[in-house]
Amino acid sequence: MLEVHQFSCLQDNYGFLLHDSATGATASIDTPEVGPINQALADKGWQLTHILNTHHHFDHAGGNEELKTQWQCQVVGAAIDAERIPGIDVEVRDGQHFAFGSAEAQVMEVPGHTSGHIAYYFADAGIAFVGDTLFALGCGRLFEGTPEQMSVSLSKLMALPDQTTVYCAHEYTEANAAFAVTVEPNNEALQRRVAEIRQLRAAGQPTVPTSIGLERATNPFVRADSPGLQGVLGMVGADEVDVFAETRRRKDHF
Name the residue nearer to Zn ion (CB basis): 143 or 192. Answer: 143
From 72-80, 98-106, 132-140, 189-197, span contacting Fe ion (CB under 5 A): 132-140
19 is catalytic: no
| 132 contributes a contact to Zn ion by CB under 5 A | yes
Question: 3-state SS string over the chain?
Answer: CEEEEEEEECCCEEEEEEEECCCCCEEEECCCCHHHHHHHHHHHCCCCCEEECCCCCHHHHCCHHHHHHHHCCEEEEEHHHHHHCCCCCEEECCCCEEEECCEEEEEEECCCCCCCCEEEEECCCCEEEEECCEECCEECCCCCCCHHHHHHHHHHHHCCCCCCEEEECECCHHHHHHHHHHHCCCCHHHHHHHHHHHHHHHCCCCCCCEEHHHHHHHCHHHCCCCHHHHHHHCCCCCCHHHHHHHHHHHHHCC
Verify binding: residue 170, Zn ion, rule CB under 5 A.
no
Partner touching 246 among Zn ion, Fe ion, none, CB below 5 to 8 Å by kind: none
Using CB under 5 A as the binding rule, whether residue 81 contacts Fe ion is answered as: no
In contact, 115 and 144? CB cutoff 8 Å: yes
Is 117 among the catalytic positions?
Answer: no
Nearer to Fe ion (CB atom), residue 171 or residue 184: 171
- Beta carbon nearer to Fe ion, 109 or 132: 132
59 lies in the site for Fe ion, by CB under 5 A: yes
**Using rule CB under 5 A, residue 117 touches Zn ion:** no
Q: Binding to Fe ion by residue 132, rule CB under 5 A?
A: yes
For the question of residue 57 being annotated catalytic, the response is: yes
Residue 19 touching Zn ion (CB under 5 A): no
Q: Is 5 noted as a catalytic residue in this protein?
A: no
Sites for Zn ion among residues 47-106 (CB under 5 A):
57
Cβ proximity to Fe ion: between 132 and 246 the closer is: 132
Active site residue 242: no
Residues that bind Zn ion (CB under 5 A): 57, 132
Active site residues: 55, 57, 59-60, 113, 132, 170
Residues that bind Fe ion (CB under 5 A): 59, 132
